[in-house]
Structure 1
Amino acid sequence: MNFKVYVLAVSAFVVGMVELIIGGILPVMSKDLGVSVGAVGQLITIFALVFAISGPVLLSMTSKYERKRLYLIALGVFFLANIGSFLSPGYGVLIFFRVITSMSAALIIVLSLTIAPKIVKPEYRSRAIGIITMGVSSALVLGVPLGVLIGEAYGWRILFLIIAVLTLIAGLIIMKFLDPVPPEQVSSVRDQLRSLKNVKLSSAHVVTLLVLAGHYTMYAYFAEYLNVTMNAEPYWVSVAFFVFGISAVSGGGIGGWVTDRIGPERTVLLFTVLFFVVLATMPLTNQSVILFTVSLIIWGMLSWSIAPAQQGYLIKTAPRTSDIQQSINTSALQFGIAIGSGIGGLVVNGFSVEAAPIGGSILVILSIGFALFSFKQPAVENEPVS
């Protein structure tokens, strides 16, 4: 595996950490900013929605720029936005910098996902994507407990300063080790939207959206689920998040390896079926620590193992527009996070937190139907290239 893929993964980790790192310190931020916990929570939703929309648009707008230079510019904007968040005097200013942070993060992650498979041999493409996914997933998952520890001890603002410093380090690493990457033709925004008319591609993106929505229907309320169903104390909640985090970090690499071995279609079906089974049966494991731990590990692994298979499927299905399809798929992932968190709230408020895994499993089983539908559609022809 090309060492430069790991360099990109380090950068993806730093950038990905900013999305959910505030999730564990909502009360601290609420008190300091003088707004409700719900209002602070909207900073996560805003980030996900802006990320989802801006990724494909920015990729198209910057299609003529040499990729390494563009990567460094995006990291620079991301650095300044985090400094701005650190210095924000109030909630409104923080929202502004949150939007800028999300836009630059979207471009960085999309560039990482599109550059990585181009700098390795064809047989390692899915694994390269999996390594990038590991960087993002580890940041998303481990960001919450890190945010709790650091934020409670030193205040929430220090988190953004730390991320800014890590961004500077990542930029220096990219500058030294990544070779210039020539620009390639990227579809216009109109062509991006037009590509979604192809049901084989659009249904594949729906699979990603539904899987992540199903996951976050449960994950967004996981701490409360542990409190209600297992009467878990804060220490054990932290342990559960840690176990989940380690499992999730490994999921991207495992997903890439399996995809290279058996192909993207089989991997997508295998992992989505397993994902459905784990979520649907989770309420049955609450009475046994051993069974619940096994379920937790498998759930964590599956939560990010499907991404490399999906990306591999898109590269195979639409090779000429693979860059933009990966960008759209990353947007679908972010929409899934926002939608899943919202649906989880409706399930918890309308029923109980114990129903969250069942609600999530219903969304996942829907994704299986869309995957089968996509696989049966004819090959993509005459892909639009501007």
Structure 2
Amino acid sequence: MDKRIYLLAFVNFVLGCVEVVPTGILCPISRDLGVSVSAAGQMLGIFSLVFAVSAPVLQVVTARFERKAVFLCALVVFAASCLWSALAPDYSSSMVARGIQAASSGVMSAIGFSLAAQLSDPAYRGRAIAVCAMGVSCAVVVGIPLGIMMTNSFGWRANYLLVMGLAAFCALGVIAWLPQQPGHVTVPLRMQLHTLSDIKLLSAHAVTVLLMWGHFTIYAFLAPFLERVAGIGPHLTSVVYLLFGTAGMLGGWLGGYSSDRWGGGRSALIGGCLLALSLLILPFAAGSLWLLLPVVAVWGMTSWGVTPSMQHYITINSPETAGIQLGLNLSAIHLGLAIGAAVGGVAMGRLPVSYNAWIGAAVVVLAVLAIYYSIRQPKKTRLVLA
């Protein structure tokens, strides 16, 4: 496999760290910025919302420009926004910086996966894309516990300075190793959205939104949940996040394997049921660490496993627009995360944080019903762009 694929995976790791690290340090962020924990949680929501909206638009806007130059420009903007976050004097300024980080991440993510496919031999293309995606997985496994340790030692802003340094290192790698790639004509956004006239595809993307919404309603506020409900301190909190991330990586593999074996729809249906069950019993398991850890493991496996299952389901049902559908599904994922953070923040401001898990479980149940509905819809023989 081309060694440059690992550079792209590392870039994804850096981007993933900025996206997920605030999850584990919401309490220190809220204290420093003088806002509630639920308001601090919206730093996650604004990232996901801007990513969901800007990614497809910026892909179209920048498509005709040389790819390496666009990638490098986005990386420079990303690094500058990390410095902005490290120095931001207040909550509003921090939120603006998060929005810029999300927009630049969306550009780099799209170009990175495209370059990974182009740099690899056709026989290794799937593995190249998987290696590239592992960067984000590693950010959850390593980034969140590392972020908690960095915050305990140097303060939460130090995380952004570290990421800025890593982004500068990535920029040197991009300049030295990545080839120039010409721009290309892309499918206009209007035509991409036209593919959603197929109710089977539209409902499948709706399933993704609901699954991520339910998951993130509690995951965005897992740190305060562990502190207030389970009585767990910062050290054990990092252990729980490490377990969740490790289980998530295993779940991603299991989701892909089960989709190949039994179909993406059936795999997502089973995974959704297990996800809803794990969220339902999570508050009851919080009284004992030995009960909590296996529930968190199941939650991590299923929340990450349903994503490849749904992507498999979507591409199988519309192979002629597979690239478009995967791009739209990436936006659906982040839209769900944004809604989950918003709903979770509102719920946490009015109810004990344990209710976030039950609200999330109810939303996942809706997702399971939507999966069942989508499976029963007839498949169009061919989708024509118009």
TM bin (shorter chain): 0.7 to 0.9
Instruction: Give the drift of 1:35.
Output: 5.3
Q: Do the aligned partners of 2:25 and 2:223 also contact (CA within 8 Å) in 1?
A: no
Instruction: Give the drift of 1:272.
Output: 2.0
Deviation readout 1:172-222 (Å, 9 max, x if unpaired): 334555455555542212223322232222211111111111111221232
Instruction: Give the drift of 1:55.
Output: 0.7
Look up the match of 1:306.
306
Instruction: Give the drift of 1:339.
Output: 1.4
Correspondence list, 1:285-304, <5 A = 285-286=285-286, 289-304=289-304
2:214 equivalent to 1:206:
no
Structure 1 CA distance for aligned equivalents of residues 280 and 42 of structure 2: 28
What is the number of residues matched between the two proteins? 385
Deviation readout 1:142-173 (Å, 9 max, x if unpaired): 44333232133223333222111211222333
Identity percentage over the alignment?
A: 36
Instruction: Give the drift of 1:99.
Output: 2.1
Structure 1 CA distance for aligned equivalents of residues 365 and 294 of structure 2: 21
Secondary structure of 2:163's counterpart equals helix
Q: What runs of 5+ residues in structure 2 fail to find an aligned partner?
A: none
Residues 250 and 203 (structure 1), Cα distance of their counterparts in 2 relative to 1, 3 Å cut: same
2:382 equivalent to 1:381:
yes
Larger displacement relative to structure 2 (169-178 or 6-15): 169-178
Structure 2 CA distance for aligned equivalents of residues 254 and 144 of structure 1: 23
Structure 1 CA distance for aligned equivalents of residues 96 and 230 of structure 2: 39
Instruction: Give the drift of 1:330.
Output: 1.5
Look up the match of 1:268.
268
Q: Do the aligned partners of 2:41 and 2:341 also contact (CA within 8 Å) in 1?
A: no
Instruction: Give the drift of 1:54.
Output: 0.2
Residues 279 and 24 (structure 1), Cα distance of their counterparts in 2 relative to 1, 3 Å cut: closer
Residues 145 and 90 (structure 1), Cα distance of their counterparts in 2 relative to 1, 3 Å cut: same
Q: Do the aligned partners of 1:133 and 1:308 also contact (CA within 8 Å) in 2?
A: no
Residues 168 and 252 (structure 1), Cα distance of their counterparts in 2 relative to 1, 3 Å cut: farther
Look up the match of 2:280.
280
Look up the match of 2:150.
150
Structure 2 CA distance for aligned equivalents of residues 78 and 226 of structure 1: 31
Q: Do the aligned partners of 1:131 and 1:252 also contact (CA within 8 Å) in 2?
A: no
Look up the match of 2:332.
332
Look up the match of 2:13.
13
Q: Which amino acid aligns with 2:61?
A: M
Look up the match of 2:186.
186
2:216 equivalent to 1:216:
yes
Look up the match of 2:77.
77
Structure 2 CA distance for aligned equivalents of residues 218 and 22 of structure 1: 14
Structure 2 CA distance for aligned equivalents of residues 2 and 254 of structure 1: 26
Structure 2 CA distance for aligned equivalents of residues 86 and 350 of structure 1: 30
Larger displacement relative to structure 2 (191-200 or 284-293): 284-293
Residues 17 and 57 (structure 1), Cα distance of their counterparts in 2 relative to 1, 3 Å cut: same
Instruction: Give the drift of 1:346.
Output: 4.4
Instruction: Give the drift of 1:70.
Output: 2.9
Structure 2 CA distance for aligned equivalents of residues 340 and 141 of structure 1: 21
Deviation readout 1:55-99 (Å, 9 max, x if unpaired): 110111122234344323322221222233334455444433322
Residues 67 and 309 (structure 1), Cα distance of their counterparts in 2 relative to 1, 3 Å cut: farther
Q: Which amino acid aligns with 2:307?
A: A
Instruction: Give the drift of 1:317.
Output: 3.1
Structure 1 CA distance for aligned equivalents of residues 89 and 227 of structure 2: 35
Secondary structure of 1:21's counterpart equals helix
Q: Do the aligned partners of 2:43 and 2:98 also contact (CA within 8 Å) in 1?
A: yes
Structure 2 CA distance for aligned equivalents of residues 261 and 182 of structure 1: 38
Structure 1 CA distance for aligned equivalents of residues 355 and 292 of structure 2: 16
Structure 2 CA distance for aligned equivalents of residues 63 and 71 of structure 1: 11
Q: Which amino acid aligns with 1:205?
A: H
Residues 168 and 349 (structure 1), Cα distance of their counterparts in 2 relative to 1, 3 Å cut: closer
Q: Which amino acid aligns with 2:48?
A: A
Q: Do the aligned partners of 1:131 and 1:253 also contact (CA within 8 Å) in 2?
A: no
Structure 2 CA distance for aligned equivalents of residues 349 and 35 of structure 1: 12
Q: Which amino acid aligns with 2:256?
A: G
Residues 304 and 3 (structure 1), Cα distance of their counterparts in 2 relative to 1, 3 Å cut: farther
Secondary structure of 1:108's counterpart equals helix
Correspondence list, 1:236-275, <5 A = 236-275=236-275
Instruction: Give the drift of 1:117.
Output: 5.1
Residues 358 and 87 (structure 1), Cα distance of their counterparts in 2 relative to 1, 3 Å cut: closer
Residues 55 and 161 (structure 1), Cα distance of their counterparts in 2 relative to 1, 3 Å cut: same
Correspondence list, 1:225-240, <5 A = 225-240=225-240
Look up the match of 1:67.
67
Deviation readout 1:100-132 (Å, 9 max, x if unpaired): 211101112233344545655778666555444
What is the RMSD of the two structures over their aligned residues, measured on CA atoms?
Answer: 3.1
2:166 equivalent to 1:166:
yes
Report the TM-score, using the length of structure 2 for normalisation: 0.85
Correspondence list, 1:43-58, <5 A = 43-58=43-58
Instruction: Give the drift of 1:349.
Output: 5.0
Residues 98 and 226 (structure 1), Cα distance of their counterparts in 2 relative to 1, 3 Å cut: closer
Report the TM-score, using the length of structure 1 for normalisation: 0.85
Deviation readout 1:205-260 (Å, 9 max, x if unpaired): 11111111111122123234334544334433332222112222333344334444
Instruction: Give the drift of 1:13.
Output: 1.1
Q: Which amino acid aligns with 1:339?
A: I
Residues 126 and 305 (structure 1), Cα distance of their counterparts in 2 relative to 1, 3 Å cut: farther
Residues 172 and 149 (structure 1), Cα distance of their counterparts in 2 relative to 1, 3 Å cut: same
Structure 2 CA distance for aligned equivalents of residues 65 and 154 of structure 1: 40
